[in-house]
Structure 1
């Protein structure tokens, strides 16, 4: 509801949501996750990465966290060699490591010049993330699983995160996300919102520091419009609000509707 109300407010103002919020830029850096899952071979990941970069996305993220840590390192090394030194590369462990493993593997990964290591530990292990952030030169990213501003603030307060990754729908909508973004900026943190790029491209564009947005095409069937990616960046449209409308397929999937009277 919160997101829908912000969309409505921007539409009534005839402005893209980012412009209503006070955009700092018309495009944001974007990276792709959906081509680097653990079940895929290294060759598949390399092919996926090539196609992703050709589509205009600017960076690649792959999954790590296999039982065999040496296999993780081998895969990262192969992808880094394939991409070359000029393409930003991130890894995501999805909370698979304990503290000793995260430190050991994190140090081994430093030679690959990663943008960040994502979710190396349990999402709620604030102390562990803080210790890891102090010990590694690679940035530590986390936050996507948290569900409130207060939970994110615990990470921020403890110095447990370098790249904050809030999910606007998960933390309670755009209103709560904006509170969190203010805290993150005050603490000089990088921002890389999780999933829902159709929403987050607007919120990232309104963040004072240069952010990242995660590119997923999984929600394409829901909307008539597509976000434009070129030259490594995701570009804002000039359409009002979030700039998206529901596709006919989405309406076909609708199982229940409700109508309310206008407020008096």
Structure 2
């Protein structure tokens, strides 16, 4: 089974990921520690940015309103989608958002693989004027050579990796110098175990870390990363859990509860078809 979200590894890897993540959660719960502390947390909170308010389909007025809501909630950075057929439209939107935010608020853009190498270079040069934290996925997700050339050409950092589905795929980009920020997605690469291998490779090469999606897991993994790290804020999964992650002064606070620090809401628990108990017998 394939598809963009499944990548080249297929659905089996994501099936394994569910078990791997559950086992790490169980291990931390048995230790009585938040997962971040079990892994060796370097910080009690992580820089957080929001993506869900800046899609290409949204008029710029709506984008600016969403930015204000996110910032009021405690989000620190803002990511704006780019990659319109006409790059001048993207540049006008970036300019409007930067003017709205001011010079000091972290701003990222995400092209979602929409540019070729020439377009990415030309647009990237103009984007240098906006003091961006990074340009995300400017090229095809597997174009290690192109991303590396772009990273060497531009002062603005490059971020990529969310679509990759294995340690090996990430290793190719990391070794090639394809990005300044590595963006693995734990459920997509097979769970926390392979994620930690990717993080070790990224740390060895001096890269920043900005995991894709699933903030409920990645806040712990970013806290345990020794270098610059971010977490991506999405509200989409919040109805699944009884708890909410706390935001304060542009950062996401690591929960002090054991494991991932989450319990399923009644809505999510109702989806259970079968249940089993492990490790409770003599």
TM normalised by structure 1 equals: 0.97
Distance 1:17 1:253 in 2: 25
The answer as to 2:115 corresponding to 1:94 is no
**Residue in 2 aligned with 1:77?**
95
**Residue in 1 aligned with 2:216?**
198
Distance 1:50 1:42 in 2: 13
Q: Deviations 1:15-45 (Å, cap 9, x if unpaired)?
A: 0000101100000000000000001011111
Distance 1:261 1:76 in 2: 51
Q: Deviations 1:33-78 (Å, cap 9, x if unpaired)?
A: 0000001011111111111111111000010000111000000000
The answer as to 2:41 corresponding to 1:23 is yes
Residue pair 1:28, 1:210 contacting (<8 A) in 2 also: no
Equivalences for residues 99-114 of structure 1 within 5 A: 99-114=117-132
* Local SS of the residue matching 1:227: coil
* Local SS of the residue matching 2:58: coil
The answer as to 2:276 corresponding to 1:259 is yes
Indicate how the Cα distance of structure 1 residues 261 and 224 shifts in structure 2: closer, same or farther if over 3 A, else same.
Answer: closer
Equivalences for residues 12-91 of structure 1 within 5 A: 12-91=30-109
Distance 2:72 2:263 in 1: 27
**Residue in 2 aligned with 1:228?**
246
Q: Deviations 1:172-216 (Å, cap 9, x if unpaired)?
A: 111111111111111000000000000000000000013110000
Indicate how the Cα distance of structure 1 residues 12 and 127 shifts in structure 2: closer, same or farther if over 3 A, else same.
Answer: same
Equivalences for residues 78-157 of structure 1 within 5 A: 78-157=96-175
Distance 2:47 2:276 in 1: 39
Distance 1:235 1:259 in 2: 32
Structure 2 unmatched ranges of 5 or more: 1-18
Distance 1:176 1:120 in 2: 25
Equivalences for residues 179-190 of structure 1 within 5 A: 179-190=197-208
TM normalised by structure 2 equals: 0.91
Aligned length: 263
* Local SS of the residue matching 1:137: coil
State the Cα distance separating 1:257 from its structure 2 match.
1.5
Distance 1:253 1:22 in 2: 34
CA RMSD of aligned residues (A): 1.1
